[in-house]
Structure 1
Amino acid sequence: MWGLIHKLGSPKWFYQLSATLQPWCWGAAALLLLTGTLWGLVFAPADYQQGNSFRIIYVHVPAAFLAQSVFVFMAGAGLIHLVWKIKMADMAAAAMAPLGAAMTFVALFSGAVWGVPTWGTWWIWDARLTSMLILLFLYIGVIALRGAFARRDSGARAASVLAMVGVINIPIIKYSVDWWYTLHQPASFTLTSRPAMPVSMWLPLLIMVAGFYCFFIALTLMRTRSEILRREAHTQWVQTLVKESR
């Protein structure tokens, strides 16, 4: 286990491994997203209360899941970077931050669009919506901190600390519908009970969630590879790689 972690901490080894994994992740993402989109938009039945407006769930829920997961990944990478000084962890965190921010924005925007036919308004200071908005501000703060320092190491440490502190917002987002009175509906999936939706509605949602995660992994690998080349440009193996690609 420690041997694998040590290898993953090597930019050269990670760059080579990601070259193998990336096409598979892109292929899986394309297949899952295409299947889930067609199933959810064309073949899934309309909701008996919300009609066809419920179909935005196939974008909103995966984006919300991913937005929260990415911040947890960033906090974990920040901890690894601060404690064990593994620079690959910081490279991965830097690559993930804009993706997480984008998914948070998609979740907020799609939720606002969904709120018009459901609640009659684009926005309400609901506990779930407000905590998700805070998450977007945290992502923006992490990204801004990386460019706010003259030294890259100082920016990386500040961003790692903010991610580790800000991760406390994730359980607030998750349990906000249980802790406070909120208009937001409860979780679509739980580990302790069966989904309230029929299989024809929740299965394409599950496929879309898997597709979003595969898309995230593929894009993170691609961005991390670019980050490796940028930071390791002075090393012999990168210089050799550039010469061979010409």
Structure 2
Amino acid sequence: MNRIVKFYHEMGSPPSFYRITQHWLMPMLLLALGLTAYGLIEGLFFAPKDYQQGDSYRIIFVHVPAAWMSMFIYAIIGICGIITFVWRMKVAEAVMMASVPIGALFTAVTLLTGMLWGKPMWGTYWDWDARMTSQLILLFLYIGVAGMYAAYEEDPRKAARLAALVAIIGLVNLPIIRYSVYWWTSIHQTSSITLTGGSEGIHSWDMLRPLLVMALATKFYYIYSMLTRAHTYLLKTEAKKQWVAQAVSKKSGAKP
């Protein structure tokens, strides 16, 4: 238990966070690349056709993991926003702001692939369906958090707190996205994977396996990209601290 508490405190300290997570970058990147290659190759070329949608369903190997990540990342942003707003922890600020562009990218991919999927399945690229509309609102929330921070960027601490407030308010949209297809009439199908094995779930392991692999791949990519951006954020906002000078010196000294 003491080790867990010690690790928590270390991860809350910018120099310790930078030092510890610096070693995670390459493993995360390699896992992300390897799993993405496996998931896409198996999903796009070797998974069996769907008995209703044929080969058109294969877009789910990108669409569904991207949709999961768009919500997962915003949940992390919201949690970090609460920590930032209440306790003003710099590492939480870094993780929050580093996550915003990544989450926005996954949300945009979700909307784009959903539109491409919608045309052959529903006969239209876009319908103001509850799921689609709430997902679009999620993209606007990501833009709103980034925009609020940019508006006060000359004062990073104030900018982070105001951005955190926007992020916290936006958390209400997550359950709306998740349950919109159950609460309102929707052309969007329900969950692709169900714990109860309902009729909308994926029953074939040959289809499910690449989908789960892609879900893992996107998480490893997120960790890699978020840590890279968080490191840059901390080096910038802590530029006057001695640990930054030491870190930059050590990094420069490693180069030939």
TM surpasses 0.5 = yes
Identity rate, percent: 42
State the alpha-carbon separation in 2 of the partners of residues 155 and 124 from structure 1: 36
User: Corresponding residue for 2:37?
Assistant: 34
User: Deviation string for 1:214-244 (max 9, x for gaps)?
Assistant: 1111111111111111112111121123233
User: Corresponding residue for 1:190?
Assistant: 194
User: Corresponding residue for 2:51?
Assistant: 48
SS in 2 for 1:147: helix
User: Corresponding residue for 1:72?
Assistant: 75
State the alpha-carbon separation in 1 of the partners of residues 241 and 74 from structure 2: 31
SS in 2 for 1:182: coil
- The Cα shift of 1:212 comes to 0.7
Q: Does 2:104 match 1:98?
A: no
User: Corresponding residue for 1:148?
Assistant: 151
State the alpha-carbon separation in 2 of the partners of residues 166 and 34 from structure 1: 33
The match for 2:185 among 170, 181, 184 is: 181
User: Corresponding residue for 2:27?
Assistant: 24
- The Cα shift of 1:118 comes to 0.3
Please list every run of 5 or more consecutive structure 1 residues that lacks an aligned counterpart in the other structure: none
Q: Does 2:212 match 1:209?
A: no
User: Corresponding residue for 1:222?
Assistant: 228
Greater Cα offset, 69-78 or 22-31 = 22-31
* TM-score (norm: length of structure 1): 0.96
The match for 2:171 among 167, 179, 200 is: 167
State the alpha-carbon separation in 2 of the partners of residues 36 and 153 from structure 1: 40
Greater Cα offset, 106-115 or 8-17 = 8-17
State the alpha-carbon separation in 2 of the partners of residues 60 and 196 from structure 1: 15
Greater Cα offset, 133-142 or 187-196 = 187-196
For residue 236 of structure 1, what is the amino acid of its counterpart? Q
SS in 1 for 2:6: helix
User: Deviation string for 1:110-161 (max 9, x for gaps)?
Assistant: 0000001001111000110000000000000000000112422222111111
State the alpha-carbon separation in 1 of the partners of residues 65 and 196 from structure 2: 20
State the alpha-carbon separation in 1 of the partners of residues 202 and 106 from structure 2: 25
Greater Cα offset, 131-140 or 8-17 = 8-17
State the alpha-carbon separation in 2 of the partners of residues 36 and 197 from structure 1: 17
The match for 1:200 among 198, 206, 225 is: 206
User: Deviation string for 1:176-198 (max 9, x for gaps)?
Assistant: 11111101011112333363331
Question: Cα RMSD over matched residues?
Answer: 1.2
Greater Cα offset, 37-46 or 148-157 = 148-157
SS in 2 for 1:187: coil
- The Cα shift of 1:4 comes to 2.0
State the alpha-carbon separation in 1 of the partners of residues 67 and 97 from structure 2: 20
Please list every run of 5 or more consecutive structure 2 residues that lacks an aligned counterpart in the other structure: none
For residue 184 of structure 1, what is the amino acid of its counterpart? H
State the alpha-carbon separation in 2 of the partners of residues 181 and 196 from structure 1: 22
State the alpha-carbon separation in 2 of the partners of residues 127 and 242 from structure 1: 48
State the alpha-carbon separation in 2 of the partners of residues 240 and 86 from structure 1: 22
SS in 2 for 1:189: coil
For residue 203 of structure 1, what is the amino acid of its counterpart? R
User: Corresponding residue for 1:124?
Assistant: 127
- Flag the 1:164–1:174 CA change in 2: closer, same or farther, 3 A: same
For residue 179 of structure 1, what is the amino acid of its counterpart? W
Number of residue pairs the alignment of both structures matches = 246
State the alpha-carbon separation in 1 of the partners of residues 183 and 54 from structure 2: 29
